[in-house]
A = this chain, B = another copy of it.
Amino acid sequence: MIPGPTPIPQSILKAIARQPIKHRSDEFTSIMQEIYTNLKYIFQTKNDVFIFASSGTGAMCGALENILNPKDRILCLVTGKFGERWAEIAKLRGAEVDILSCNFGEVITPKMLQDHLSLHKPYKAITLTHSETSTGVANDLQSLCAIIKKTESLCIVDGISSICAMPCKMDEWGIDILISGSQKGLMLPSGLSFLALSAKAYEIHKKCLFPSFYFNFSLHKEALKKNTTPFTPSINLIFGLLESLRIIKNIGLENLYHKHKKHTFALRDAIRAMGLELFVKDDAHASYATTSIIPPNGIKAQDIIKHLQENYNIIIASGQQELEEKIFRIGTLGYIHNEDLIQTITALEQTLQSLGYKFENKIGTQTLLEKLKMP
A83 within 8 A of B: no
In the bound assembly, the distance between CA atoms of A233 and B57 in angstroms comes to 10
A8 within 8 A of B: yes
Known: A19-B13, A22-B317, A190-B20. A54 touches B235 (CB 8 A): no
Instruction: Determine which residue in A189, A210, A235 has the highest number of CB atoms from chain B within 10 A of its CB, and name it.
Output: A189
Interface residues on A, range: 35 or more
Residue of B8, B93, B232 near A20 (CB, 8 A) is: B8
How often does this chain occur in the complex, in copies?
Answer: 2
Q: Which of A105-113, A121-129, A211-219 contacts B (4 or more CB under 8 A)?
A: A211-219
Within 171-217 of A, Cβ neighbours of B (below 8 Å) are at 181, 183, 189-191, 209-216
- In the complex, the answer to whether A236 meets B65 with C-beta atoms within 8 Å is no
The contact string, 1 if C-beta is below 8 Å from chain B, for chain A 276-315, is 0000000000000000000000000000000000000001
- In the complex, the answer to whether B55 meets A233 with C-beta atoms within 8 Å is yes
A5 within 8 A of B: yes
- In the complex, the answer to whether A20 meets B189 with C-beta atoms within 8 Å is yes
Residue of B5, B16, B20, B56 near A23 (CB, 8 A) is: B5
Q: Which residues of A contact B (CB under 8 A)?
A: 2, 4-8, 13-14, 16-23, 25, 52-58, 61, 65, 70, 88-89, 92-94, 181, 183, 189-191, 209-216, 231-237, 315, 317
